[in-house]
Amino acid sequence: MNEASELGVERPGRWDKPFDSNMSDEHVRSVLKVAPFSLIDAQKFPKSMPLAGILKNDTRLVTYKRGDLIVREGDYGSSAFFIMSGSVRVVVDSEATKLADKALGRTPPKEKNWKEALSQLWTNAKVPEYRASVKFVGNAVPGGGAGLRTEAGNTRVFLQDVSAVLNEHKTVQLHEGEFFGEIAALGRTPRTATIFAEADGVELLEIKWQGLRDIRNHAPQIREHIDRIYRERSLLIHLHETPMFAHLTNEQLEAVAAETQFKSFGNFDWHASYKTVIERTASSRLNDEPIIVEQGDYPNAVILIRAGFARLSEIIGNGHRTVSYFGRGQYYGYREVFHNWKNDASVPYQFTLRGIGHTDVLIVPSQVIEKLVLPTIPKEQQPWFAIESKTTSGSDQLAKRDQQNRVGTDVLEFLVENRYINGTAAMMINLDRCTRCDDCIRACANAHDNNPKFIRDGKQVGNLMIGHACMQCQDPVCMIGCPTGAIHRETLKGNVVINDLTCIGCGSCAASCPYENIQMVETRNAQGEYLLDKATNRPIVKATKCDLCLEQITGPACQNACPHDALVRIDVSDRIDLVNWVKR
């Protein structure tokens, strides 16, 4: 897995269109004057990708007014920030989430009680997509309300009463020359805090994740900086969550952490490219997926998936056949390492592990495992099936595998190719049972003020169909780039929901959803006429999607309403559930 090849594929797409066309060379120069950029040895960068180029194409300078929210806790972001001038405030106390919500006019969802639930029978609107109000006019909440401000085409949310917020909440100040948001950017993890500009004219350098990654790769001090932060903040926790390491003492765990390297593979905004990718042949698609470890190589490390997905495949004839897929928290290579440690005859990696879309992995070298982990490994943590000899013919193996994961290869490939593995609540419909009665849609509409939130249609494999309903992705790319944070993870169940009031109908989420599960709708008044925007006379549009009936007592209405057990909201990564349901 050499990056050149990977970048080679990627570059053309990447620098055709710069992050921000306003980023001029003198801007770049001005950036290069300030530490730590001034300290970076530009010579270390490959000709193909000079530091200046990166700064020009992958970064931009943004100025904020006092109170403007820069990042919001829980949001997804694909870029890190470097403070050029001024200072920002990080809300660190437990109230932070509340602030984020209040500030954004998000009313934290609450489950309806019976009366409220029943009242939907008569309170639901008669016309589709009826809206009493469509615009978020900041709401006065203690600790500062928030407002929407559109400036040079992009909408900003700002705190109306900064001083109040400062009094109300515990905040930390960040100053010139400091980074923030880099972990979230690289690790595809939610923002951990809400940060806002303390005064007018705060200037920040926003660095796209690709840029940040490349700089990190070639500038040791940046790498150390980032890795340090990461190790401090989340590595230990992540390792600890991994069953393989559960039995280690903190010292041992720290030792492991010290040896662990992390790497990210694939394309960070895969969701943009994937629609074109899916058109191509299976093999060519597979070739684009960066190889993490290759079948036949010596197993020198165990790979932990930290974010994103990986495909496990084996060579059958001239092609690869998907055996399994891994999501966050799962790992590969342990079995081989264990085997080699136990027996003198060593085996290579049995399968090929590829990054699907964007994959972020931790690499734990096998020596570390052998030294620290295996000697004290409890019985239950040992691999429960031995490695079978590779002598058996491919077809035999096919049969064998199909017995192991009874979903059938076709279904497996289907789920992986279309990235449905991303879904924790995918709408799966058994078309052999579905009578097309639309009870699911009606139930959905009942639960959402007479508006369906999904489309009973979608890609099919055999008798299975994945409906166009938000599947609550592990990696919710839709949240990237929402200008107002209208789409966010709510605090009740952690579902991704859209806050209708703050949604400005820009459609970025709908565009970035790879599954077409977010639909833009034209809002209407009680008479059923479109609500028109005064300025443009165009209907006011809102992004809508399934919220898994967050506020309903019943849970997902669609699933409950299906008379024939044909529809289920299923966590695709939970293979047991999947098999049980498909084979029911």
Partner 1 sequence: MITFRKRRMIGVSVSLVLATLFIVCYRKLTDNLVSTATCSGLLLFGFILFLAAYNGRKRITFLPLGKSSTWLQFHLYSGYLCIVLFLIHVGFRTPHGGLETLLAIVFGLVAGSGIVGAILSRMIPRRLTQRAGTIIFETIPLLRRELKDSVDALILNSIELTGKTTIADFYAYRLASFFVGPRNFWSHVQGSERHLSRTYANLMGLKRYLSHDELTVVERLADKVREKDNLDFQYSLQLLLKYWLFIHIPLTFSLIIIGLFHGIYASLWT
Partner 2 sequence: MHLFGHRRYNRPNQKWECGRAAEGKACSLGPDSGGKCIIKSECKPVRDANGFQCARPTQLGGQCPTGPLPDGSCCLQIPPCSPRRTTRAKRQLLVLLTAAFSIGLCFYFFGVSSPHRGFLSGGSLSNRHSSIKHQCSSCHATVEGNVINWVLSAKHPNVQSQKCLECHSMSPHVFSPHGVNPTVLAKLTEVRHGDGKPVEPGAKRMECNTCHKEHRGFQADIKTMTNNQCQTCHAKSFKSFANGHPEFDKFPFRRRTRILFDHSSHFGKNFDKAGVKDMRCQTCHAPDSAGQLMVVSGFKQACAQCHSNQIHGVDQLEKGLVFFRVPAVDLKTLKTKGINIGEWPEDADGALTPFQKILIANDDRFSTAFKQVPDVDLTDLGGLSDADLKAVGQVLWGVKSLLADLAGENSKHLQTKLEKYLKHELAPAELALLAGALPPDVLRNTASAWFHNLKAEVGAFHTGRLTATHRFKQPKDLKDTDVDWVTAGGWYRNNGDYTLRYRPIGHADPFIHNWLDVAAASYAESKLSKGLFDSLSSRKANAGSCMKCHSVDAVAGAAGASGGVHVNWHSKSSDNEPKTFDRFRHVSHFSLLGNTGCLTCHSINKDAEYEKAFVGRDNTVFESNFQPIKKATCVACHQSDRAGDSCLSCHNYHVGEVLSSQSSFKKVQTSMDGDEQTAAAPAGAVPVAVATPAPTATPTPTPTPTSVATPVPAPTATPTPKGD
| One character per residue 519-558, x = contact with partner 1 (rule: CB under 8 A) | ---------------------------------xxx--x-
**C-alpha pair distances (Å), 6 with each of 1, 32, 220:** 8, 27, 21
φ and ψ at residue 205, rounded to 5 degrees:
-100, 115
Which helix (H) or strand (E) is 400 found in, with range? Answer: helix 394-404
Least Cβ distance, residue 126 to partner 1 (angstroms)? 15
Using CB under 8 A as the binding rule, whether residue 442 contacts partner 2 is answered as yes
Using CB under 8 A as the binding rule, whether residue 428 contacts partner 1 is answered as no
> Rounded to whole angstroms, how far apart are CA atoms 183 and 185?
5
- Report the residue number, 412 or 562, with the smaller CB distance to partner 1: 562
Q: Taking CA 257 as the corner, what is the angle to CA 253 and CA 259, rounded to the nearest 5 degrees?
A: 120
Least Cβ distance, residue 536 to partner 2 (angstroms)? 6
Say which entry of partner 1, partner 2, none residue 236 contacts (CB below 5 to 8 A, set by partner kind). none
- Report the residue number, 5 or 435, with the smaller CB distance to partner 1: 435
Q: Which of 30, 63, 87, 120 binds partner 1 (CB under 8 A)?
A: 120
Say which entry of partner 2, partner 1, none residue 435 contacts (CB below 5 to 8 A, set by partner kind). partner 1
Going by C-beta distance under 8 Å and a sequence separation of 6 or more, which residues neighbour residue 389? Answer: none
Say which entry of partner 1, partner 2, none residue 465 contacts (CB below 5 to 8 A, set by partner kind). partner 1
What long-range pairs does 440-444 form, CB within 8 A, spacing at least 24? 440/557, 440/558, 440/559, 440/561, 440/562, 440/567, 441/558, 442/561, 443/557, 443/558, 443/560, 443/561, 444/546, 444/549, 444/557, 444/558, 444/561
Using CB under 8 A as the binding rule, whether residue 120 contacts partner 2 is answered as no
Q: Which of 319, 538, 554, 555 binds partner 2 (CB under 8 A)?
A: 538
Q: Which of 11, 339, 442, 575 binds partner 1 (CB under 8 A)?
A: 442
Sign of CA dihedral 329, 333, 335, 341: negative
Say which entry of partner 2, partner 1, none residue 433 contacts (CB below 5 to 8 A, set by partner kind). partner 1
> Rounded to whole angstroms, how far apart are CA atoms 497 and 102?
15
Site for partner 2 in 308-367 (CB under 8 A): none
> Rounded to whole angstroms, how far apart are CA atoms 30 and 52?
11
Least Cβ distance, residue 455 to partner 2 (angstroms)? 6
Stretch that binds partner 2, among 415-423, 443-451, 493-501, 556-564 (CB under 8 A): 443-451
| Closest C-alpha to 302, from 336, 271, 328, 275 | 336
Which amino acid, residue 244?
M
Least Cβ distance, residue 572 to partner 1 (angstroms)? 16
> Rounded to whole angstroms, how far apart are CA atoms 511 and 235?
33
Using CB under 8 A as the binding rule, whether residue 537 contacts partner 2 is answered as yes
Q: Which of 71, 362, 412, 434 binds partner 1 (CB under 8 A)?
A: 434
Which helix (H) or strand (E) is 487 found in, with range? Answer: strand 487-489
> Rounded to whole angstroms, how far apart are CA atoms 517 and 468?
5
Least Cβ distance, residue 546 to partner 1 (angstroms)? 15
Using CB under 8 A as the binding rule, whether residue 563 contacts partner 2 is answered as no
- Report the residue number, 96 or 557, with the smaller CB distance to partner 2: 557
Using CB under 8 A as the binding rule, whether residue 418 contacts partner 2 is answered as no
Using CB under 8 A as the binding rule, whether residue 411 contacts partner 2 is answered as no
Which amino acid, residue 391?
T
- Report the residue number, 189 or 446, with the smaller CB distance to partner 2: 446
Using CB under 8 A as the binding rule, whether residue 519 contacts partner 2 is answered as yes
Say which entry of partner 2, partner 1, none residue 538 contacts (CB below 5 to 8 A, set by partner kind). partner 2
Say which entry of partner 1, partner 2, none residue 535 contacts (CB below 5 to 8 A, set by partner kind). partner 2
552: left (phi over 0), alpha (psi -120 to 50) or beta: beta
Going by C-beta distance under 8 Å and a sequence separation of 6 or more, which residues neighbour residue 30? Answer: none
Least Cβ distance, residue 445 to partner 2 (angstroms)? 4
Helix (H, G, I), strand (E, B) or coil at 577: helix
Residue 391 per-residue DSSP state:
T
Q: Which of 69, 99, 303, 465 binds partner 1 (CB under 8 A)?
A: 465
As a 3-state breakdown, the chain gives helix, strand, coil percent values, each rounded to 5, of 35, 25, 40
- Report the residue number, 393 or 536, with the smaller CB distance to partner 2: 536
| One character per residue 444-483, x = contact with partner 2 (rule: CB under 8 A) | -xx---xxxxxxxx----------x---------------
Q: In the β-sheet with 179-180, what is the strand arrangement from edge to edge?
A: 59-64, 202-208, 79-85, 179-180
Least Cβ distance, residue 500 to partner 1 (angstroms)? 19
Footprint of partner 1 on this chain (CB under 8 A)?
Answer: 112, 114, 117-118, 120-121, 431-437, 439, 442-443, 446-447, 456-457, 460, 463, 465, 552-554, 557, 559-566, 580-581, 584
